[in-house]
Amino acid sequence: MVLTTIQGLPMGNISFTTFQLNGFYSLGEWRRFLFIPYFLMFLLCVIANSILLFLIISRRSLHSPMFVLIGVMAVLDLIMPTVFVPSMLLSFLFDWNQISLLGCLMQIFWVQIVGTFQSTLLLWMALDRFFAICRPLSYHEHMQITNFLKFVIVPVIRNLLINIMLVSLAGKLHFCMKNEIDHCFCEHMGLVQLACEDTSINNILGLTGTLIITTADFIIITISYAIIFTSVIKSGKSSSKALNTCITHIIVLIFGLVLVLVAFLAYRTKNNFSPNSRIFISTMYILFPCCFNPIIYGVRTKEIRLQFFKLFNSVKVFSQ
């Protein structure tokens, strides 16, 4: 019986523990120039979210539940790119593209856990608007931290359990096919598809996680906003301020969902996406919302916009 071997050892006994992230390597020398746009986006993300977070923390008028949730979003938008962008930038400049299995699993966990909490945070924002518009007399009662925790605990446990299971199952696989991941950072499917054993459970759990978290949150958010708009139309009241905030959430939600679905389908269906296009979409669905969420909320939310101009004017006066 002939055994397929790698470097003289039976393939069944091989399990790679170090991987190479080869995203955009087909660009050759042009790959280094990708440092510029990704660094600028990372810089924009850090500056914009830091300003938004500073405004919400320092301005007493922004200490309402809605703005606290926006502040939490700014924290998540700061954490997400920090997980993978610095190592990606170093890879562009110096070809530092190796990552250990443990490092890869940690990267997958943090990207997915922050991503799922971003989805769940939009759900919490939708609930805040629901109580503010449809239950205004009991809004403060529902949004007290002790009462609001009942809307927080279940999604938090759900997100943690599913992502821990995904990463744990991926960590138990044996990787004897190859150790090259055609990506700029570790993604769940990018790692799992390198395994030399059956990965049906991993694929099913990944799909189930998407349905239980992203799809379920989207359905509840859609129902919440449908009830909100129906309530406003029936009451005949304008509620322009509240509706403006709802529209902001919907813009963020739809834009993020489109990017996630395109990235998801690019991995799991037959399509005409080139490897570079697929990698670009995967990086954008994570990085782009983190950069522009604070700008969208800053421009469309009157209170934040006013506080930003006050801060800008005070800095301008101080510099003079």
- CATH code for the domain of 56: 1.20.1070.10
At 105 the pLDDT is 93
Q: What is the mean pLDDT of the chain?
A: 82
Query: What is the CB-side half-sphere exposure of residue 143 using CA atoms within 13 A?
Result: 23
Token code pair at residue 216? 């379920």
Closest of 217, 108, 244 to residue 169, by C-alpha: 108
**Over pLDDT 90: what percentage of the chain?**
21
Report the pLDDT averaged over residues 68-79.
92
Does the pLDDT value for residue 101 go beyond 70? Answer: yes
Tens-place pLDDT, residues 227-240: 888 887 777 655 56
The H or E element spanning position 38 is helix 35-58
User: Helix or strand or coil: residue 102?
Assistant: helix
Residue 260 to residues 76, 119, 206: CA-CA distances in angstroms?
Answer: 17, 11, 14
Does the pLDDT value for residue 5 go beyond 90? Answer: no
At 253 the pLDDT is 73
At 150 the pLDDT is 80
Q: Which are the contacts of 3, defined by CB distance < 8 A and separation ≥ 6? A: 10, 11, 12
Does the pLDDT value for residue 20 go beyond 60? Answer: yes
Poorest-confidence range of 22-36, 201-215, 247-261? Answer: 247-261
Report the pLDDT averaged over residues 94-117.
90
Tens-place pLDDT, residues 240-297: 656 666 777 777 777 777 777 776 666 666 666 777 888 888 888 788 888 888 888 7
**Over pLDDT 70: what percentage of the chain?**
86
- Total structural domains in the chain? 1
Question: Would 164 be classed as within a structural domain?
Answer: yes
Does the pLDDT value for residue 1 go beyond 60? Answer: no
CA–CA gap between residue 145 and residue 197 (Å, rounded): 47
Question: Would 53 be classed as within a structural domain?
Answer: yes
Tens-place pLDDT, residues 155-173: 889 999 999 999 999 988 8
Question: Would 9 be classed as within a structural domain?
Answer: no
Question: Would 252 be classed as within a structural domain?
Answer: yes
Q: Which domain holds residue 73?
A: 32-311
Per DSSP, what are the bridge partners of residue 100?
18
Question: Would 95 be classed as within a structural domain?
Answer: yes
pTM: 0.84
Question: Would 11 be classed as within a structural domain?
Answer: no
Residue 26 to residues 99, 182, 270, 274, 285: CA-CA distances in angstroms?
Answer: 20, 10, 21, 11, 22
At 243 the pLDDT is 64
At 89 the pLDDT is 92
Tens-place pLDDT, residues 81-91: 998 899 999 99
> Which band of pLDDT confidence, cut at 50, 70 and 90, is reported for residue 317?
low
Read off φ and ψ for residue 64, nearest 5 degrees.
Answer: -80, 160
At 13 the pLDDT is 56
Residue 86 to residues 35, 39, 74, 96: CA-CA distances in angstroms?
Answer: 10, 9, 19, 11
Report the pLDDT averaged over residues 214-219.
83
Question: Would 37 be classed as within a structural domain?
Answer: yes
Question: Would 126 be classed as within a structural domain?
Answer: yes
Tens-place pLDDT, residues 51-68: 999 999 988 888 888 888
Task: Please tell me which residue, 298 or 114, carries the higher pLDDT value.
Answer: 114
